[in-house]
Structure 1
């Protein structure tokens, strides 16, 4: 034991190990309530006596192909149990992503309590799916759950699948491809990494969406089809995958980690706010990362180990004082605060103006701006959160802004540095020829050369009655953009884009009344965006005093 873990520890810049004398028990059998058997590996330091246990539950090959992580954590003073979920890596049952993690997690906790080596002191850590499985048992962990670190994750499934109530096509198609090939040969996995992005980009155009599992993998996946069938936000089908309602009852200290370009960032911030509202004081770290950033992974495991040692081993020497640490883009610096969002922010409305202007002044009487959205030629995704490392998150948007289906509103040149830190939203007054349509809003930083770099964005899917129009037929909608921390430099300008899609990040809104999964007919949406005294469309920015 120790060779691979030493290499990975060096790559991840981890603190020194307590020991390299690690033992492992493999393929331990854990019975679930319905008789299904899950397999687990148990790592423990031979010479450090009885130590607290770190639980990791995954539906990825963390146990069979990534066992070094168990060693790394055990070398730093913990016992580690890694459990493979249903239908993966030798565990029994059928693959049921997200939906049985609460029930199965409770069974794992019961099994742990029966083990002679378990001292009743438990911690959890993990990113993405491994963060979701932490939330699934956070309340049931009770007093024995001493600390957790949920990273790049969400406590509920639907917010991952339907951000803004629209299907997160690119991310989910990439995830489906990964799940299908994760236990295949090294050559197939390598091919999926090298060629998978181009192939998925082509497959994303296929209709109907419900058949994309067969087009991508050659077989049907029940979870893929269920996600598309149950697209109504009020559908009770999602309840087993929603643990957000239990967050207020969770008492275990949590260090939450995310990135400004992570597709789960809004959910992470929501979960943080729920903990704060219930009286907890979670830690929060947000860097300039995507979901799959290697720097984020390195930072995450380092911070988690510091956090778990502080709360499980009473080793607080490396624990920072300030609960919140965020990276401010634009000025490229880390900043620390007692909580999120900072106390000194003020929300400023910048109103859309005629002829593409953007100003703090209320708009004058003016005619609305018009564009057409055609799902045959959808507005493309440029930058932003992308699937499985495909493309950089920040790109020049000028060619996108030249399209006739994209409106832009640009401020005057800034004569001072303007910093925004916190939640960002947009209020639009719109009219559409279709009841089923989308609106996408993006904030960009325009430098003196004219380069337009995306900062944050968000999309909202409209449907009949969601929302209802005013008597004049105009709808007021509020779009929640990704939160951010960004400094617009003196001499730059702020630009707002408005369009009706970002494909393939989100699926194309076909504009018809056909079901999401089986729809194939398309309709063109003619959109009006108003900017007058009675309909003052605006971006709302959390400005921070420098």
Structure 2
């Protein structure tokens, strides 16, 4: 395992391969529950090493657990990996995300009091394991020298339930996964469970989908269907106010196609505006991709701070610029030197920086019984850059495309769209996607977003947040946007009835109209480079 990880992740040689594992250490919580943890450390000299703390709901053993631990325990850390409440031997009841602040603070106090603690600690982990860092970020003891949250953010579940589009696939898939992960033969069951979950998402009403997916009720899945983002029910899961007051340096790692990118950028901007020691790295990844960037950040940024040293110097923001397929450094997010430029939708499927001329609108029909599918994009498992040509051939997807570019167009920052939209029904969704079309006609998605409308049966200006990107459209390529009314199951399908998502059973098809004339100019707004950047 050690040598495979070293080769596959291109890690520096280890300081030792002789590790000792102290299993099932008992960590008491304030309410009497006892959580279990494993400590991995070199067999000799470990007491002087900093501690890397990983708190996880996914278990401490197996391939995933070892891959998260071994590289660091061999290269300068002792690693404590703890099972969060209610899972894999830890006491209490697993109530997703709700008890991580109290349990996290109690764990920090316990670690610092141990005789083997080496006076410095670094917090690390992706996704849920990053969220637990934000849950305690405002009350870190001075022994915590750095935080390295990866593909995560400080509010998690709230982000799925926003009014601009109910994200169904991610919370439902995750809820089904954690509900079944401790059943027997998990690796053998994984594929069949995934297929069951995929089928269950089509269930009407959705409140019965959890039973179809996992064979029993899931309180978490019921909660996401009943409580929207603004419901006080989620307040214990919202740690946004803690971000700007953290005392530890933070290195945040995200992906352009990660489900938490929008919130992660919000958290970084909060750190940046508060003048905190923070840096950001974003690569061309989805949520679950495993690579060595975060590993190296732990060994370079985390270990340096734990030793009281300066990490290798770099600009605060490092972005993978897609299209150019290269890493570049920037002083801030969003970076300077990029100004919004409007590209207008026009009749005949044209997209142009010129103002739209007179012309009739574009139309399509959306049927939630045959919803427009999600292809690539932000996803937990199967997103990323995909060939969109089959999707764009559907009659419920409009496309608007520029002429071939006579020079490179570089887009870095937040992307948005303004679409003058009208439906035959009051309730409708507007999905907009930015694509790069190469010389062979292959259309690859760059970023996208969806907003839900009420009162859509009259012309309405739909403002759509397409999230952020860093992408260079090469000379000879074309810029394209798609307009449709869904991306299922990335987003829940709009039934067209306005009924609550948990109990809705009726599906109504709708005739949709997109206006693009001088009085109602629909456009995508791209943050474009004002000058050609230096290589």
TM range (shorter): over 0.9
- Normalising to structure 1: TM-score of the pair? 0.91
- Normalising to structure 2: TM-score of the pair? 0.93
Q: 2:2, 2:17 within 8 Å by CA — same for their partners in 1?
A: no
Report 1:338-353 matches (<5 A): 338-353=331-346
Q: How far, CA to CA, are the matches of 2:422 and 2:366 in structure 1?
A: 13
Q: 1:157, 1:238 within 8 Å by CA — same for their partners in 2?
A: no
Q: How far, CA to CA, are the matches of 2:272 and 2:310 in structure 1?
A: 22
Structure 1 stretches of 4+ moved >6 Å: none
Q: How far, CA to CA, are the matches of 2:401 and 2:103 in structure 1?
A: 52
**Greater CA drift, 154-163 or 61-70:** 61-70
1:313 is matched with which residue? 307
Shift of 1:223: 0.9
For structure 1, list consecutive stretches of 5 or more residues without a partner in the other structure. none
Shift in CA distance, 163/383, structure 1 to aligned 2, threshold 3 Å: farther
Q: 2:135, 2:242 within 8 Å by CA — same for their partners in 1?
A: no
Q: How far, CA to CA, are the matches of 1:479 and 1:367 in structure 2?
A: 22
Q: 1:37, 1:91 within 8 Å by CA — same for their partners in 2?
A: yes
Q: 2:164, 2:452 within 8 Å by CA — same for their partners in 1?
A: yes
SS at match of 2:449: strand
Shift of 1:377: 1.2
SS at match of 1:271: helix
1:182 is matched with which residue? 181
Report 1:410-421 matches (<5 A): 410-421=401-412
* Corresponding position: 1:366 with 2:355: no
Q: How far, CA to CA, are the matches of 1:239 and 1:212 in structure 2?
A: 25
**Greater CA drift, 431-440 or 148-157:** 431-440
Q: 2:203, 2:209 within 8 Å by CA — same for their partners in 1?
A: yes
Match of 2:55 among 57, 80, 84: 57
What is the Cα-based RMSD across aligned positions, in Å? 2.2
**Greater CA drift, 33-42 or 165-174:** 165-174
Q: 2:196, 2:212 within 8 Å by CA — same for their partners in 1?
A: no
Shift of 1:163: 5.6
Q: How far, CA to CA, are the matches of 1:271 and 1:89 in structure 2?
A: 30
| 1:150-189 deviation digits (Å, cap 9, x = unpaired) | 1111110234423664332222333234323423444x42
Q: 1:23, 1:43 within 8 Å by CA — same for their partners in 2?
A: yes
Q: How far, CA to CA, are the matches of 2:60 and 2:165 in structure 1?
A: 31
Match of 1:375 among 368, 371, 375: 368
Report 1:26-105 matches (<5 A): 26-45=23-42, 46-63=44-61, 66-67=65-66, 69-105=68-104
Q: 1:425, 1:539 within 8 Å by CA — same for their partners in 2?
A: yes
Shift of 1:142: 4.1
* Corresponding position: 1:433 with 2:432: no
Report 1:230-269 matches (<5 A): 230-231=227-228, 233-269=229-265
Q: 1:432, 1:527 within 8 Å by CA — same for their partners in 2?
A: yes
| 1:286-326 deviation digits (Å, cap 9, x = unpaired) | 1111112233xx22112222111111114546x24222221
Q: How far, CA to CA, are the matches of 2:117 and 2:420 in structure 1?
A: 58
SS at match of 2:271: helix
Q: How far, CA to CA, are the matches of 1:540 and 1:415 in structure 2?
A: 19
1:424 is matched with which residue? 415
* Corresponding position: 1:462 with 2:453: yes
> Paired residues, what number?
529
Shift of 1:263: 1.5
Q: How far, CA to CA, are the matches of 1:255 and 1:379 in structure 2?
A: 37
Report 1:154-173 matches (<5 A): 154-162=153-161, 165-173=164-172
SS at match of 1:482: strand
SS at match of 2:139: coil
Q: 1:21, 1:47 within 8 Å by CA — same for their partners in 2?
A: no
Shift of 1:110: 2.5
SS at match of 1:370: strand
Shift in CA distance, 164/479, structure 1 to aligned 2, threshold 3 Å: farther
* Corresponding position: 1:453 with 2:444: yes
Q: 1:441, 1:481 within 8 Å by CA — same for their partners in 2?
A: yes
Q: How far, CA to CA, are the matches of 1:62 and 1:421 in structure 2?
A: 39
Shift of 1:533: 2.4
For structure 2, list consecutive stretches of 5 or more residues without a partner in the other structure. none
Q: How far, CA to CA, are the matches of 1:24 and 1:453 in structure 2?
A: 46
| 1:205-250 deviation digits (Å, cap 9, x = unpaired) | 112222222111111111111111102x320111111111111111
**Greater CA drift, 120-129 or 173-182:** 173-182
SS at match of 1:483: strand
| 1:412-437 deviation digits (Å, cap 9, x = unpaired) | 22111111111111112222333332
Shift of 1:271: 1.0
Shift of 1:270: 1.2
